[in-house]
Amino acid sequence: MPKKKQPQEGRPKVNNPNVLGLHAQVVEQPITDTLETNYMPYAMSVIVSRAIPEIDGFKPSHRKLLYTMYKMGLLTGARTKSANIVGQTMRLNPHGDAAIYDTMVRLSKGYGALLTPFVDSKGNFGKSYSRDMSWAAPRYTEAKLTAICAELFRDIDSDTVDFVDNYDNTMKEPALLPTSFPNILVSANSGIAVGMASQFCGFNLKEVCDTTIAYLKNPACDLTETLLAPDFPTGGELICDPAVLRDIYDTGRGSVRVRARYRYVKEENLIEIYEIPYSTTVEAILDKVAELIKAGKAKEIADMRDETDLSGLKLAIDLKRGVDPDKLMMKLYKQTPLEDSFACNFNVLIAGSPRVLGVRQLLEEWTAWRTESVRRRTYFVLNKRREKLHLLKGLKRILLDIDKAIKIIRETEEEAEVIPNLMIGFGIDQVQAEFVAEIKLRNINKEYILKRVNETAALQDEIDDLEDILNSPKRVKKIIVDELTAVAKKYGEPRRTAIVYGHEVEEYKEEAAVEDYPVSIFLSREGYFKKITPASLRMNSEQKYKEGDGLRQSFETTNAAEVMFFTDQCQVYKTRLSDFDDAKASVLGDYLPAKLNMDAGENVVFAVLPGDYSGALLFFFENGKAARVEVKSYQTTSNRRKLTGAYSDKAPLACIRRIDGDCELAVYSTEPRCLIFHTALLAPKTTRTTQGVAVMNLKPKYRLDTVKTLEESSISHLSRYRVRALPAAGALLRQEDSEEKQLDLLD
């Protein structure tokens, strides 16, 4: 007991008579003494005996539970009630039944917190990905050890590890478990001690075994070749940064980014999230998404719900019409726990001292510890074999004269003299004499004794082999490698967490709010573009063009709309009208080849407002062919502004038309001929660069000139030019059908 420090001179004693009616004396004590005598022992106990794992990958609470289950015969036997296990474990762990059961839950297969669970559970053990899904009471659940626990307790009775007294000195427990694989890297583990913490991410069992084998063969090997990245039981995608991983492997500190995995169900227009980061829960995700919806920052979402069932985790997000699912998920990754960071802090107890180690250092410590365990096991077996050989050598002595041994025993008057008389009669020691004296009467025959004696040679060979192992570090290393190979083959599983590299991940960039208001847009034949507000258009509606230029197309739309410009070099440029400044009718406008950084000599031939990307584009070529391409073929998930291969370059382009539904079109040639056909005769093509099908049969020297809707044409004798099959030559255009209407707007 520490001595109570006397009050310093000049500081009076303070008597407080109001403490429970008794007089109490309060003695002042420096805070440093209080910390040293009261707090430091507690802090050291938490660090060494509770919160930080040791080289076998377990904290004391884990080790006590698993060892109790092992002694209960639950490695090979049937399951038993969890309450029974908890009660038995309290002989080693005095921290209470609730704490013991919580430990069992975390190690269980049902809870799903470990890649390689050690408790085979039956009943409701909750789920690691749920904050609110509580597990059933221990009286309702059952458990046993999983098969891989055989590797935790391999040769535990062969003096592979030290045994220490339990808390009340009534029984022994192992100080460490003799794991035959580096469980410290396989099992995820976290703990908060006093002034320090520990956070281990799990790695794939097969990768860890392969890495350890590679390290044993070459300590300077590149760990990243076999240990690809952390692996988490909840799956997801790990965004791999090689520099960060190397830093974690070298220092034991760092963080990795993990994000959820999802699939888009087109038929139902919803997103299904089926794997989430290990460090979050479904409730945290739902709460954050609900917060975004309430704040008006996730208007693309119609509804979100938890559809988790017996088949596994599933979060469903109902989308509004026209929402890009990939773009929405990039936004949710940025603003919700659907993408989260896992911080690594490989703090482990080595010989009772906490140390933060990198992966290579951990492998070094584990292999040194495992080497010592294998040597201790070998030495234990060697001693057993030596003892047996010693007994057999004594048995060999009586082989020459069994009758003499029987005579000595028979003629000895006192039982206590049997052993000394045998020792004198055959020249053997006491242990050998005890062994001979304990032989059953039925075994006193030459056949039995000869069989036992014949074991001597084989036993001697085994002893020589064991001694060679002890004297050969190379053979000890081979034993460890063989055990690791067997573990990887028997218990190895594929990775659950997919690996994606940083350059493959598209980061979400929040777009600035665009003011939306009505506008009219005008495109000239030479590529000048103007965006004019209705108020400005009412003040002056007369458009200004360069000499020889004129109107190609005009639309009424809104400022936030997207627009696509097709060029004469089979390319399309995508942008938004908000990127253009409001103009007036009296100016020329923006010159699109310069504004959009087009290639040299490239000119705009057609503009399209894609909207929700419905409808189709019809490309008519001068050789009489036409191609029908869905507008959605030009839809992209990224902000790409330029698409090559917008249409076929096999023949010169004559005209582009957009249709929202099937209709009749009039096709004119330079002969001049005309035919009217229904667009339903043109089947949609899957590729943008298709040459299409022949629509108009042309004579040499003539080409397809233009295409109009029936409303735009002045044809009065429709039946003369209408065809029911393609291709067709069409009919010569009559004078009364060739008068063109004056058009102000072209679609």
Instruction: Return the active site residues.
Output: 140
At 165 the three-state DSSP class reads strand
Of the candidates 187, 205, 206, 180, the one whose C-alpha atom is nearest the C-alpha of residue 103 is 187
Using DSSP bridges, classify how beta strands 498-501 and 237-240 pair: parallel, antiparallel or unpaired: parallel
Task: Give buried/exposed letters for 245-268 (b at 16+ CB in 10 A, else e).
Answer: bbbbbeebebbbbbbbbbebeeee
What is the 8-class DSSP label of residue 47?
I
In angstroms, the CA 345 to CA 287 distance is: 28
Output the CA torsion sign for 181, 184, 189, 192: positive
At 238 the three-state DSSP class reads strand
What is the 8-class DSSP label of residue 715?
-
Tell me which H or E stretch contains 481.
helix 473-491
Q: How far is CA 44 from CA 2, 164, 196, 667, in A?
A: 18, 19, 11, 91
Kindly state the greatest CA–CA separation across the chain: 148
In angstroms, the CA 358 to CA 224 distance is: 13
φ, ψ (nearest 5 deg) of residue 548: 85, -5
**Residue 617 β-bridge partners:** 629, 658
Query: CB–CB of 145/120 below 8 Å?
Result: yes
Tell me which H or E stretch contains 684.
strand 684-685
Q: How far is CA 635 from CA 269, 301, 321, 609, 632, in A?
A: 17, 20, 15, 12, 5
From the number of C-beta atoms within 10 Å of its C-beta (0-12, 13-18, 19+), residue 409 rates as: middle
At 85 the three-state DSSP class reads helix
Query: CB–CB of 263/285 below 8 Å?
Result: no
Query: Which residue in the block uniquely carries the two structure tokens 């003892």?
Result: 387
Using DSSP bridges, classify how beta strands 270-275 and 189-192 pair: parallel, antiparallel or unpaired: unpaired
* Count of Cβ atoms closer than 10 Å to residue 515 Cβ: 8
Query: CB–CB of 643/629 below 8 Å?
Result: no
Query: CB–CB of 679/618 below 8 Å?
Result: yes
Total residues belonging to the chain: 747
| Long-range residue pairs from 718-726, CB within 8 A, at least 24 positions apart, any chain | 718/676, 721/666, 721/674, 721/675, 721/676, 722/664, 722/675, 722/676, 722/677, 723/675, 723/676, 723/677, 725/681, 726/677, 726/681, 726/682, 726/693, 726/694, 726/695
Query: Which residue in the block uniquely carries the two structure tokens 């350059």?
Result: 503
Of the candidates 101, 106, 121, the one whose C-alpha atom is nearest the C-alpha of residue 202 is 106
Helix axes 418-426, 402-411, angle to 10 degrees: 150
At 612 the three-state DSSP class reads coil
* Count of Cβ atoms closer than 10 Å to residue 579 Cβ: 13
